[in-house]
Amino acid sequence: MILDMDPGVDDALALLWALSSADVAVEAVTTVSGNVNVDLATTNALKLAELMDRSDVPVFRGASEPVVGDAIRATHIHGETGLGAAQLPHPQLAASEGNATTALCALLRSRPGHFQIVAVGPLTNLALAEQREPGILSLAQEVVIMGGALRVPGNVTPTGEFNFVSDPQAARTVITSSAEIRLVPLDATRQMHLSKEQLLSQLQDATPRLREVCLQLTATAMEIGQKKSGVARMYLHDPLTTLLAIQPELAGWETLNLDVEPIGELTAGHVVVDERSQSDLQGKPVSVATRVHRDKVLDEFFKPFLTMEMCSR
């Protein structure tokens, strides 16, 4: 797995899971501007890798701005550091030489059909790789993406989800590429909320330090959930996507013809679904997660956390 991300609280949980799961071999982490700026995203990824004592996993700094337009941030959800209330030490690890786009191209060319890309941030790095070497993303075994809103409201614009609105042109470039794509949109991730009570229940047999880190990571997002709904809870957008990359049977999937609107004051980043009853549909057929087996997802996601080892630093 190559993880492309913008940590970010739920990105952090996804990365902790991937680095600790026996079913996942994380070959590289690439960072991108999104929830926080790319420098902070890179530092956060390095902090988490060091926390897991995984200096073997290279972290490549990626794009600092969208392909087109200005960057947007989500620090009101993730906190100013991107890691909620967690105070992790500054990493001794350093980012690997070279940038994310170059690393993606080199890895995919080195072993065609071997790597699975899981992209849970804006798709800028992947789009830049595709622009540099057209067809490069098709050398991945598949690209699993958290992004878009199909039949539900957006979370940034009326119809737009954060990752796609952050870089609509990049989203369109990747979605319409020749890569094999699976999409996990807000339609699926909004079925996957986690309350503070559920988090404590899932981690009751984990180490005290892990429980503390997870509670700190999720504190800001949980507080927002409390204010909005009266329940301390958050959505597991990126953890769900990362888990479904490995265990797709935990969701129902539907093949839909999709495209992404790259411009528009109200519609940039909107996912267009062509469901007309005709043969020449617009867009590209993409496998989309729909119904989620929520309880099974929670149980499967937290299993590695119960045996997770953390660096003492």
Residue 73 has pLDDT above 70, yes or no: yes
Tell me which residue of 236, 245, 256, 254 sits closest to 291, measured CA to CA. 254
Peptide bond into 8 cis (omega under 30): yes
Could you count the other beta carbons within 10 Å of the beta carbon of residue 310? 15
Average pLDDT over residues 286-293: 97
Residue 270 designated active-site: no
pLDDT averaged over every residue in the chain: 96
With contact defined as beta carbons under 8 Å apart, do 228 and 263 qualify? no
Would you state the pLDDT for residue 308?
83
pLDDT band for 309, please (50, 70, 90 cuts): confident
pLDDT band for 310, please (50, 70, 90 cuts): confident
CA pair distance 186, 159, nearest whole angstrom: 10
Would you state the pLDDT for residue 311?
67
Average pLDDT over residues 58-76: 96
Average pLDDT over residues 2-16: 97
Sequential DSSP letters for 241-309: HHHHHH-GGGEEEEEEEEEE----TTTTTPEEEE--SSSS-SSEEEEEEEEE-HHHHHHHHHTGGGG--
How distant, in Å, are the alpha carbons of 75, 200, 213 from that of 196? 20, 6, 13
pLDDT band for 312, please (50, 70, 90 cuts): low
- In this predicted model, what pLDDT tens digit does every residue of 220-242 receive, in sequence order? 999 999 999 999 999 999 999 99
- pTM equals 0.97
- In this predicted model, what pLDDT tens digit does every residue of 263-279 receive, in sequence order? 999 999 999 999 998 88
Instruction: Supply the DSSP symbol for 48.
Output: H
pLDDT band for 313, please (50, 70, 90 cuts): low
Q: What percent of the chain has pLDDT over 90?
A: 95
Query: Could you give phi then psi for residue 212, rounded to 5 degrees?
Result: -60, -45
Q: Map out the domains of the chain as residue ranges.
A: 2-307
Helix (H, G, I), strand (E, B) or coil at 102: helix
**Least confident interval from 25-34, 69-78, 128-137, 164-173:** 69-78
Identity of residue 212: E
What Rg, from alpha-carbon coordinates, does the chain have? 18
Task: Enumerate helices (H) and strands (E) in the chain, giving the number of each.
Answer: 12, 11
Average pLDDT over residues 133-158: 97
How open is the CA angle 202-221-148, to the nearest 5 degrees?
A: 95
With contact defined as beta carbons under 8 Å apart, do 163 and 170 qualify? no
Q: State the catalytic residue, choosing from 78, 114, 193, 237.
A: 237
How distant, in Å, are the alpha carbons of 4, 39, 67 from that of 101? 11, 15, 13
Measured over the CA atoms of residue 273, residue 166, residue 163 and residue 55, the dihedral's sign is positive
Would you state the pLDDT for residue 263?
94
* Domain range 2-307, CATH architecture: Alpha-Beta Complex (3.90)
Residue 262 has pLDDT above 90, yes or no: yes
CA pair distance 25, 20, nearest whole angstrom: 9
- In this predicted model, what pLDDT tens digit does every residue of 10-21 receive, in sequence order? 999 999 999 999
Tell me which residue of 76, 61, 218, 237 sits closest to 161, measured CA to CA. 237
CA pair distance 34, 74, nearest whole angstrom: 7
pLDDT band for 139, please (50, 70, 90 cuts): very high
